[in-house]
Amino acid sequence: MAKRGYHHGNLKQALVEAALDLIAEKGPQGFTMAEAAKLADVSAAAPYRHFTGREDLIVELARQGFELFADLLEYAYRDGQPSPLAAFEAVGRAYLAFARKHPGHYVAMFESGISPNATRDLATACARANKVLVRAADDLSQRLPPDRRPPTEMFAAHVSAMSHGIVELYARGAPGSRGPFTPEDLLETGIGIYLRGLGFLEPDR
Protein backbone atom coordinates (compact mmCIF):
# COMPACT_ATOMS: atom_id res chain seq x y z
CA MET A 1 0.00 0.00 0.00
CA ALA A 2 1.53 3.29 -1.11
CA LYS A 3 1.93 6.19 1.25
CA ARG A 4 -0.61 8.94 0.75
CA GLY A 5 1.17 11.93 2.25
CA TYR A 6 -0.43 15.33 2.68
CA HIS A 7 1.20 17.56 0.11
CA HIS A 8 -1.93 19.70 -0.03
CA GLY A 9 -1.34 20.64 3.59
CA ASN A 10 -4.53 19.09 4.98
CA LEU A 11 -3.17 16.72 7.60
CA LYS A 12 -6.59 15.86 8.99
CA GLN A 13 -7.96 14.71 5.64
CA ALA A 14 -4.74 12.85 4.82
CA LEU A 15 -5.22 10.84 8.01
CA VAL A 16 -8.87 10.20 7.12
CA GLU A 17 -7.89 8.89 3.69
CA ALA A 18 -5.16 6.71 5.17
CA ALA A 19 -7.61 5.28 7.69
CA LEU A 20 -10.12 4.54 4.92
CA ASP A 21 -7.55 2.37 3.16
CA LEU A 22 -6.62 0.63 6.40
CA ILE A 23 -10.24 -0.06 7.37
CA ALA A 24 -11.05 -1.47 3.94
CA GLU A 25 -8.03 -3.76 4.25
CA LYS A 26 -7.98 -4.67 7.95
CA GLY A 27 -11.31 -3.66 9.47
CA PRO A 28 -12.04 -0.89 11.98
CA GLN A 29 -10.19 -2.58 14.84
CA GLY A 30 -7.33 -3.90 12.73
CA PHE A 31 -5.15 -0.81 12.51
CA THR A 32 -3.42 1.60 14.85
CA MET A 33 -3.01 5.36 14.83
CA ALA A 34 0.69 4.79 14.20
CA GLU A 35 -0.17 2.86 11.03
CA ALA A 36 -2.46 5.64 9.86
CA ALA A 37 0.34 8.16 10.51
CA LYS A 38 2.86 6.05 8.61
CA LEU A 39 0.54 5.70 5.62
CA ALA A 40 -0.05 9.47 5.64
CA ASP A 41 3.73 9.93 5.83
CA VAL A 42 3.72 11.88 9.07
CA SER A 43 5.13 11.31 12.54
CA ALA A 44 3.39 9.00 14.98
CA ALA A 45 2.48 12.00 17.12
CA ALA A 46 0.98 14.05 14.29
CA PRO A 47 -2.53 12.46 14.29
CA TYR A 48 -3.11 13.65 17.84
CA ARG A 49 -3.20 17.25 16.63
CA HIS A 50 -6.66 16.45 15.25
CA PHE A 51 -7.88 13.22 16.88
CA THR A 52 -7.81 11.91 20.44
CA GLY A 53 -7.41 8.34 19.21
CA ARG A 54 -8.56 5.73 16.71
CA GLU A 55 -12.21 5.91 17.75
CA ASP A 56 -12.26 9.67 17.23
CA LEU A 57 -10.74 9.17 13.78
CA ILE A 58 -13.37 6.54 12.90
CA VAL A 59 -16.12 8.92 14.04
CA GLU A 60 -14.86 11.45 11.49
CA LEU A 61 -14.82 8.76 8.79
CA ALA A 62 -18.38 7.85 9.66
CA ARG A 63 -19.48 11.50 9.62
CA GLN A 64 -17.99 12.08 6.19
CA GLY A 65 -19.49 8.79 5.03
CA PHE A 66 -23.01 9.74 6.08
CA GLU A 67 -22.65 13.07 4.28
CA LEU A 68 -21.63 11.25 1.08
CA PHE A 69 -24.39 8.70 1.62
CA ALA A 70 -27.03 11.40 2.06
CA ASP A 71 -25.82 13.17 -1.10
CA LEU A 72 -26.13 9.95 -3.10
CA LEU A 73 -29.55 9.07 -1.69
CA GLU A 74 -30.87 12.57 -2.35
CA TYR A 75 -29.60 12.43 -5.93
CA ALA A 76 -31.16 9.00 -6.49
CA TYR A 77 -34.46 10.13 -5.01
CA ARG A 78 -34.74 13.38 -6.95
CA ASP A 79 -33.40 12.18 -10.30
CA GLY A 80 -36.64 12.56 -12.22
CA GLN A 81 -38.19 9.32 -11.06
CA PRO A 82 -41.55 8.68 -12.73
CA SER A 83 -43.28 7.34 -9.60
CA PRO A 84 -42.85 6.93 -5.83
CA LEU A 85 -42.16 3.23 -6.40
CA ALA A 86 -39.40 3.94 -8.93
CA ALA A 87 -37.89 6.52 -6.57
CA PHE A 88 -38.03 4.07 -3.68
CA GLU A 89 -36.28 1.39 -5.71
CA ALA A 90 -33.64 3.91 -6.85
CA VAL A 91 -32.84 4.68 -3.22
CA GLY A 92 -32.32 0.97 -2.56
CA ARG A 93 -29.93 0.66 -5.50
CA ALA A 94 -28.05 3.73 -4.28
CA TYR A 95 -27.48 1.94 -0.96
CA LEU A 96 -25.67 -0.87 -2.76
CA ALA A 97 -23.76 1.53 -4.99
CA PHE A 98 -22.48 3.45 -1.97
CA ALA A 99 -21.24 0.29 -0.24
CA ARG A 100 -19.29 -0.68 -3.35
CA LYS A 101 -17.79 2.74 -4.05
CA HIS A 102 -16.96 3.70 -0.45
CA PRO A 103 -16.14 0.48 1.45
CA GLY A 104 -14.03 2.21 4.10
CA HIS A 105 -16.73 4.75 4.87
CA TYR A 106 -19.39 2.04 4.86
CA VAL A 107 -17.52 -0.04 7.44
CA ALA A 108 -16.90 3.00 9.63
CA MET A 109 -20.61 3.91 9.48
CA PHE A 110 -22.22 0.53 9.98
CA GLU A 111 -19.65 -2.01 11.18
CA SER A 112 -17.28 -0.22 13.52
CA GLY A 113 -19.46 -0.21 16.62
CA ILE A 114 -19.46 3.61 16.65
CA SER A 115 -22.72 5.07 17.94
CA PRO A 116 -24.44 7.37 15.43
CA ASN A 117 -24.86 9.73 18.38
CA ALA A 118 -21.15 9.77 19.25
CA THR A 119 -20.98 13.44 18.30
CA ARG A 120 -23.53 16.07 17.33
CA ASP A 121 -22.08 16.36 13.81
CA LEU A 122 -22.23 12.61 13.28
CA ALA A 123 -25.81 12.45 14.54
CA THR A 124 -26.80 15.28 12.19
CA ALA A 125 -25.21 13.59 9.17
CA CYS A 126 -26.79 10.24 10.04
CA ALA A 127 -30.22 11.84 10.47
CA ARG A 128 -29.91 13.56 7.10
CA ALA A 129 -29.31 10.26 5.31
CA ASN A 130 -32.07 8.51 7.23
CA LYS A 131 -34.48 11.34 6.39
CA VAL A 132 -34.22 10.46 2.68
CA LEU A 133 -35.05 6.81 3.38
CA VAL A 134 -38.00 7.77 5.56
CA ARG A 135 -39.28 10.29 3.01
CA ALA A 136 -39.12 7.67 0.24
CA ALA A 137 -41.03 5.22 2.43
CA ASP A 138 -43.58 7.86 3.39
CA ASP A 139 -44.23 8.91 -0.20
CA LEU A 140 -44.76 5.31 -1.21
CA SER A 141 -47.01 4.70 1.80
CA GLN A 142 -49.46 7.31 0.52
CA ARG A 143 -50.62 4.69 -2.00
CA LEU A 144 -52.32 2.77 0.83
CA PRO A 145 -55.37 3.77 2.88
CA PRO A 146 -54.33 5.39 6.18
CA ASP A 147 -55.48 2.42 8.26
CA ARG A 148 -53.24 0.05 6.24
CA ARG A 149 -50.06 2.10 6.18
CA PRO A 150 -47.12 0.65 8.12
CA PRO A 151 -45.19 2.94 10.48
CA THR A 152 -42.97 4.90 8.11
CA GLU A 153 -39.81 4.63 10.20
CA MET A 154 -40.26 0.87 10.52
CA PHE A 155 -40.89 0.57 6.79
CA ALA A 156 -37.64 2.43 6.05
CA ALA A 157 -35.75 0.40 8.66
CA HIS A 158 -36.88 -2.90 7.12
CA VAL A 159 -35.59 -1.92 3.70
CA SER A 160 -32.34 -0.61 5.19
CA ALA A 161 -31.85 -3.91 6.99
CA MET A 162 -32.54 -5.85 3.80
CA SER A 163 -30.08 -3.69 1.87
CA HIS A 164 -27.41 -4.06 4.55
CA GLY A 165 -27.85 -7.83 4.63
CA ILE A 166 -27.39 -8.06 0.88
CA VAL A 167 -24.26 -5.92 1.12
CA GLU A 168 -22.84 -8.20 3.79
CA LEU A 169 -23.65 -11.48 2.08
CA TYR A 170 -23.47 -10.75 -1.62
CA ALA A 171 -21.88 -7.39 -2.44
CA ARG A 172 -18.41 -8.17 -1.08
CA GLY A 173 -15.75 -9.49 -3.44
CA ALA A 174 -16.18 -10.34 -7.10
CA PRO A 175 -19.72 -10.09 -8.56
CA GLY A 176 -21.42 -13.48 -8.67
CA SER A 177 -18.93 -15.12 -6.33
CA ARG A 178 -21.61 -16.00 -3.75
CA GLY A 179 -24.40 -17.02 -6.11
CA PRO A 180 -25.89 -16.67 -9.58
CA PHE A 181 -27.78 -13.46 -8.81
CA THR A 182 -26.49 -9.91 -8.62
CA PRO A 183 -26.99 -7.93 -5.40
CA GLU A 184 -29.25 -5.56 -7.35
CA ASP A 185 -31.46 -8.45 -8.51
CA LEU A 186 -31.67 -9.80 -4.97
CA LEU A 187 -32.61 -6.41 -3.57
CA GLU A 188 -35.20 -5.75 -6.27
CA THR A 189 -36.93 -9.10 -5.77
CA GLY A 190 -36.68 -8.83 -1.99
CA ILE A 191 -38.27 -5.38 -1.98
CA GLY A 192 -40.92 -6.65 -4.40
CA ILE A 193 -41.88 -9.51 -2.07
CA TYR A 194 -41.94 -7.13 0.90
CA LEU A 195 -44.12 -4.59 -0.91
CA ARG A 196 -46.55 -7.26 -2.10
CA GLY A 197 -46.89 -8.46 1.48
CA LEU A 198 -47.84 -4.94 2.55
CA GLY A 199 -50.29 -4.56 -0.33
CA PHE A 200 -48.34 -1.98 -2.35
CA LEU A 201 -48.12 -4.30 -5.38
CA GLU A 202 -50.55 -6.75 -6.91
CA PRO A 203 -49.68 -10.43 -6.31
CA ASP A 204 -47.93 -12.19 -9.17
CA ARG A 205 -50.33 -14.07 -11.36
The structural domains of the chain, ordered by start, are 7-51 (1.10.10), 58-198 (1.10.357.10)
Residues 60, 185: Cα–Cα separation, whole Å = 33
Say what the pLDDT of residue 1 is.
52
Closest CA to 57 of 111, 2, 12: 12
Read off the pLDDT band of 205 (50, 70, 90): very low
Give the type of residue at 196.
R
pLDDT, tens only, 5-60 = 544 468 999 999 999 999 988 999 999 999 999 999 999 999 999 999 999 999 99
Mean pLDDT of 68-83: 84
- Alpha-carbon torsion, ordered 180, 185, 191, 193, to 10 deg: -50
Closest CA to 161 of 114, 194, 198, 203: 194
pLDDT, tens only, 145-197 = 888 888 999 989 998 999 999 988 887 655 555 667 888 889 889 988 888 88
- What radius of gyration, in Å, describes the C-alpha atoms of the chain? 19
